[in-house]
Structure 1
Amino acid sequence: MCGLLTTHQTPSRCNIGLKINRQSMIHINLSTSARVIRQGYWIVSPPNYKMSRVSSSFPAVPMLAASFSARQLRFVTVPLSALVLSFIFYCHESLLNTNATSIKFIPLTSSPKSSAKPLPVCTPATFQDDAEDLLPHTYRDDGILEVNPDGDHPIFELIELATARWKFKLSRASRTLDEAAREYVRRYNKRPPKGFDKWWRYVEKHNVQLPDEYDQINRDLEPFWGYHPLDLQQLRDKQELHTDTFTLGKNATSEISVLRVSFAHSTNNWKPEALLGGARSIMDILKDVQHELPPFRAVISPHDSPTLFSDYEVKKIALDAADRGAYMDMENIVPGERLGWLSGCSPSSPARQTKQTDSRSKKKAFIFDHRKAMDPCLHPQLLDNIGEFLIHPNPNPSKLMLPRFAYCATNMHHDIQIPTLSGWVDDILPRSDDPDWEGKVDERLSWRGSNTGMWHAPTTRWKSAQRARLVDFANGLNGTLKVLIPPKDGKRVGQGVEIPRSKFSPAMTDISFAGEPVGCHKETCPVLLLDYEWKKRQGAKERGNFKYIIDVDGNAWSSRFKRLITSNSLIFKATVYPEWLSSNFPFVTPLTSPRFLDRIEPWVHYVPVQVDYSDVYDALVFFRGGLYGEGAHPNLARKIASDGRDWSRTFWRREDVTAYVYR
């Protein structure tokens, strides 16, 4: 927030390639460390070949191998992955004067520029599997892993890769101010803002973990480096007068306070006092560091949902200007074609290129990159099944990128995200309400909540919104389901087993609306009452009995996620809101991409699931087993639940929120 007007240089997005002997270019498209290890391939291929993430026909060179069973190999894969990553990173940092290898950056529009030092060719030995000849799964460029029926169960692999990434990230975190400043320059190609040393003192004093992982801030602010400071200030001044905003700020000597309020009377039935709850939360977050902050004014939306829909063409102009170290010509900005939500997508994106859902989505699939899985430009079906998009079916984007803060944003919005303490808890108290894993007696997947998400009326498509679909999904009894039952050691996962819904769903889920209908037209409220069972709300003690809980979006981001992940339950999360904690999978390479990930790791701290819920039962059965417990992996479930709770209490403290907003 304070660094917004510090400088106007910004990194360009890039891919990474290796240049062998300064002649032949090889694009590195690593499958991931564990995939490389398990399949026994060289990390780098001969010149003039492109290594494919999914191709088994690529002429990669097999390495020295030893014989391990699938499960034995699994025990060495994760630590070996971390070792390999550390070894390569060591090469990356220390073997810098080689004449044989250099890094060449290929500008793209998907990831920011890295000023990483040259990465030598490092080819560690690996092991081959002597079990069934299992084939690789497909890692798509939209963040989805397509299941190969002739492969192992993919969740093993997803957990292994995520664990290796997380360990590697922890191992390379900056330990000193000098290291943090160098890492800042490496990631963003500009010097840290004034006051960075004071921020670092706060980080050190409060033992804030992962002090480099704030790429979300750069993602949010990057377009604004393309504005001249005076133009940006004028836009901010106009935003202060915008209905339904409040302005926080301070001068050189004052404390932070609410400087301006612009609310319509009883906006959406909310009273001004309630709308200022977020202001009080932000002031509370910054109270211990406000004396260190320079004068500022920040315009903030008081609502849960984002409001600034981005025009792809305008955003591209801003990013291009920032990339050149130049400023946009405000008088000659040409907006893109008015296409409703599609105006926020690149002309080459799947959303703009296809008129219906890609048939690939019908295959068994899991998320490996949660941020990409949230992107409607990559997954246009999201526009038809999330209330955020359904309630505004044909919106016009903002004519400019506007400097306004909000509590969340989708990939279609450019609201600058600022966390609050809404829903924040330090722990589940009393602890007796949250038994340990063995003390949780109910193995069904649980959810209880209201029908928020959008306005329910005869003229809206509320039945397609995320919460109504979740309840319908879990309580439908007609037809059959095809579910992946985890195979025996070293066997193929197969196509799935057909099971009657009437037998499966009631045994596997306890999912229902609670209370009574809200947010509904007078004609639709009775329909909701009639069509759905409305159970009583869960208390903390009742909720604590469930081993598995799913978290889904409401009107916007889910404020209950902090409370849920602090428990001893395993959390499944379906969302389109990246939030300030979100992660980003390094599709190019996990070693040099500055957009490695931020502050949480899916498959280590929680289970990411698609918002169409097509993978929910497959993931649930992997952990808790089938109807009779067959194929269960309770130890893995317990570990992710435990690691999620530990993460929450170590990486999502009040001090961690302060460090984010302060920076």
Structure 2
Amino acid sequence: MLSVRELRLIIVPLFAFVFSFLLYCREALIHGAKSATYIPLTVSTFHSVDKPPICVPVPAPVPAPLQEDPQELLDHVYRDDGILEVNPDGGHPIFELMDLARARWQVKLRRASKSLDEAVREYVRRYNRRPPKGFDAWWRYVEKHNVQLPDEYDQIWRDLEPFWGYDPVDLQRLQAEREDHKETFTLGKNDTSDISVLKISFGEEIQWDPKALLGGADSIMTLLKDVQHELPPFRAVISPHDSPTLFTDYEVKLAALDAASRGQYIDMSKIVPGERLGWLSGCAPSSPARKRTKSTTSSTQKTFIFDHQKLMDPCLHPELLENQGEFLIHENPGPQKLMLPQFAYCSTALHHDIQIPTLSGWIDDILPRSDDPAWEGKLDERVSWRGSNTGMWHAPYTRWKSSQRPRLVDFANQHNGTVKVLVPPSSHAYGKRIGEGIEIPRSKLNPAMMDIAFAGEPVGCHPETCPELLRIYEWRKRQGAKEMGNFKYIIDVDGNAWSSRFKRLITSNSLIFKATVYPEWFYDRIEPWVHYVPIQVDYSDLYDALIFFRGGLYGEGAHEDLGRQIAIEGRTWSRTFWRKEDITAYVYRLILEYARVMSLDRDSMSYDG
């Protein structure tokens, strides 16, 4: 069997040949992104006779390695939990991670369905059932608006598949009962009406502005306005809050999925929830979290992410339960006894809220464009972040110091001790061992590499804790778009829930590092190490990733060309794959799927073309 390194040496030249053959598409790149290392490839999933084929940007391979002092390199370790363990006797892993990511992305683009018939066949292959009724109209929308990757909606399947194991009579009863649950609203339509807010259940004790809480409803109705006449009747209960609320019992979900796989329904009266174990109730008994398996990674072992979605799963990475506000804020929570059909704006691997994206934080572009210089015009090579201390309630009785944002600010502003960092090789020297790394004093490293601080003043804090926050941290001015545009590198982290600033950040000409526990709606449609750089939520790989691209303290070993490439590809992806039309296509298909699984006659709600 070929090693990863041997496969890489075969794949990269092959892709280089294919890309060269397809250079004729360069002028058709729809947003005109230009780069010496950026090669667009015609992979339009479909086009009509009266429209030219669109070109989807495909990343160029990393330049062929220079064999400086060729050495026998050993393979890195790719773990089942999505982590790459660095072998000191291997090459720098980021070369490898970028190559493999490009290979995955190209495969995904090139296998995309190009016709309705192909899309139906691919749907049946993936999900073992016919598409929902209205799939042909959805396809016409996708085709008209050049929505790319029309098969990549597995997140919808993950969200809705357990409900196929419920009798729709039971589902409709659960949904009707949930409409009266406080802090929800119900969106829907009948056969002849437009989509509207059908019910509001906020309760008198809710302190927030109802109009603000209904902002998501307005956003969803805006997205579906032009296609609502194609949608079947439905009623959807939606939480107005940023974070998910429906904690899943693993045993209940397993029973539902098992029933769904057999085309049967669970008997709700016989469901026996598992043992109450706090957050661990959401994990399989064999998972690292439940087995309390200690990581085999030593404190000095260098690691990177190769599968970002696996890194978001606390069952695989139980340390997330100790360092993320989403999990720290709840002490020993109990799961829902049943899975409930309710929507939210985000979810986690331990929740079963059905994700429905909105336009929160969405922009088409950064304007004026002068606020976002080209890569070469961004003069600050530190990684930047400004933000509020959101993430959880800060009080004497909570573990807020362990949450993601205080940890980030602490991480970037420490001056004591040393940090071991990997020395990036000169040029593209695959053939050089990465080694164990070298120790650098934090007092030198952080001022040169980090510009990370809280902005404004403390929020979400107990009267006793607000003064403590003011005393502990430096609070700087908020960062405007023009100031942010000076930085080549920006990190994005979670707040109270998912980060609504990611769309704005990835639309820029900066390289974005991202650390998160929320698998958002677009993660089947984006490629880490091609469009952004995934970072572990303990930030243990941040120094090494940054230094690979920007170089050491004096810029030595920099691979800025590769950083620039990811920045450009991220921006182009944002303007090609995250348009309003792309969000509409997702929500449109989600509602078709939801209406079918809730229907008393699911067969009649399936596409028969």
Shorter-chain TM-score: what band? 0.7 to 0.9
Q: Which runs of 4+ in 1 moved over 6 A?
A: 80-83, 127-130
Structure-1 residue corresponding to 2:599 = none
1:81–1:164 contact (8 Å) kept in structure 2: no
Structure-1 separation of matches of 2:555 and 2:175: 57
Partner SS state of residue 288, structure 1: coil
Deviation of 1:265 after TM superposition, in Å, equals 2.8
Deviation of 1:273 after TM superposition, in Å, equals 1.2
Structure-2 separation of matches of 1:36 and 1:165: 17
Instruction: Establish whether residue 332 from structure 1 lines up as the match of residue 270 from structure 2.
Output: yes
Structure-1 residue corresponding to 2:102 = 163
Give the residue type in structure 1 aligned to 2:450. T
Instruction: Establish whether residue 581 from structure 1 lines up as the match of residue 522 from structure 2.
Output: yes
| Match among 180, 194, 199 for residue 138 of structure 2 | 199
Structure-2 residue corresponding to 1:5 = none
Structure 2's unaligned 5+ residue stretches are: 21-64, 590-609
Instruction: Establish whether residue 555 from structure 1 lines up as the match of residue 525 from structure 2.
Output: no
Structure-2 residue corresponding to 1:37 = 7
Structure-1 residue corresponding to 2:423 = 485
Structure-1 residue corresponding to 2:596 = none
Query: How big is each residue's C-alpha offset from its partner over 1:158-208, in whole Å with a ceiling of 9 and x where there is no partner?
Result: 000000111111111111000000000011010011100000000011010
Deviation of 1:79 after TM superposition, in Å, equals 3.9
Structure-2 separation of matches of 1:128 and 1:491: 9
Alignment of 1:499-538 (within 5 A): 499-538=440-479
Partner SS state of residue 376, structure 1: coil
Structure-1 residue corresponding to 2:406 = 468
Deviation of 1:356 after TM superposition, in Å, equals 5.0
1:240–1:247 contact (8 Å) kept in structure 2: yes
Partner SS state of residue 317, structure 1: helix
1:483–1:617 contact (8 Å) kept in structure 2: yes
Instruction: Establish whether residue 657 from structure 1 lines up as the match of residue 583 from structure 2.
Output: yes
Q: How many pairs does the alignment contain?
A: 541
Give the residue type in structure 1 aligned to 2:582. D
Deviation of 1:38 after TM superposition, in Å, equals 3.9
Partner SS state of residue 648, structure 1: helix
Instruction: Establish whether residue 152 from structure 1 lines up as the match of residue 91 from structure 2.
Output: yes
Instruction: Establish whether residue 209 from structure 1 lines up as the match of residue 152 from structure 2.
Output: no
Structure-1 separation of matches of 2:421 and 2:374: 28
Instruction: Establish whether residue 254 from structure 1 lines up as the match of residue 224 from structure 2.
Output: no
Instruction: Establish whether residue 411 from structure 1 lines up as the match of residue 349 from structure 2.
Output: yes
Structure-1 separation of matches of 2:83 and 2:549: 20
Partner SS state of residue 280, structure 1: helix
Instruction: Report the CA distance shift for 1:213/1:186 in structure 2 as closer, same or farther (over 3 A).
Output: same
Query: How big is each residue's C-alpha offset from its partner over 1:76-127, in whole Å with a ceiling of 9 and x where there is no partner?
Result: 26547999xxxxxxxxxxxxxxxxxxxxxxxxxxxxxxxxxxxxxxxxxxx9
Alignment of 1:116-127 (within 5 A): none
| Match among 309, 314, 321 for residue 259 of structure 2 | 321
2:404–2:493 contact (8 Å) kept in structure 1: yes
Structure-2 residue corresponding to 1:189 = 128
| Match among 387, 399, 404 for residue 325 of structure 2 | 387
1:572–1:608 contact (8 Å) kept in structure 2: yes
Structure-1 separation of matches of 2:371 and 2:117: 45
1:440–1:547 contact (8 Å) kept in structure 2: yes
| Match among 372, 397, 400 for residue 338 of structure 2 | 400
Partner SS state of residue 525, structure 2: coil
Structure-1 separation of matches of 2:547 and 2:322: 27
1:566–1:648 contact (8 Å) kept in structure 2: yes
Deviation of 1:35 after TM superposition, in Å, equals 4.1
Structure-1 residue corresponding to 2:13 = 76
Alignment of 1:280-299 (within 5 A): 280-299=218-237
Instruction: Establish whether residue 619 from structure 1 lines up as the match of residue 550 from structure 2.
Output: no
Structure-2 residue corresponding to 1:308 = 246
1:440–1:544 contact (8 Å) kept in structure 2: yes
Query: How big is each residue's C-alpha offset from its partner over 1:54-88, in whole Å with a ceiling of 9 and x where there is no partner?
Result: xxxxxxxxxxxxxxxxxxx89526547999xxxxx
Structure-1 separation of matches of 2:118 and 2:11: 34
Structure-1 residue corresponding to 2:438 = 497
> Which structure carries more relative contact order (alpha carbon 8 Å, separation 6+)?
2
Partner SS state of residue 384, structure 2: strand
Partner SS state of residue 102, structure 2: helix
| Match among 498, 509, 514 for residue 568 of structure 1 | 509
Structure 1's unaligned 5+ residue stretches are: 1-27, 40-72, 84-126, 583-597
2:8–2:99 contact (8 Å) kept in structure 1: no
Structure-2 separation of matches of 1:225 and 1:146: 38
Alignment of 1:15-34 (within 5 A): none
Structure-2 residue corresponding to 1:6 = none
Structure-1 residue corresponding to 2:373 = 435
Superposed CA RMSD = 1.9
Deviation of 1:393 after TM superposition, in Å, equals 2.1
Give the residue type in structure 2 aligned to 1:534. W
Structure-2 separation of matches of 1:295 and 1:390: 39
Instruction: Report the CA distance shift for 1:276/1:235 in structure 2 as closer, same or farther (over 3 A).
Output: same
Instruction: Establish whether residue 276 from structure 1 lines up as the match of residue 217 from structure 2.
Output: no
Structure-2 residue corresponding to 1:98 = none
Instruction: Report the CA distance shift for 1:641/1:221 in structure 2 as closer, same or farther (over 3 A).
Output: same
Structure-1 residue corresponding to 2:23 = none
Partner SS state of residue 435, structure 1: coil
| Match among 82, 106, 117 for residue 143 of structure 1 | 82
Structure-2 separation of matches of 1:361 and 1:331: 48
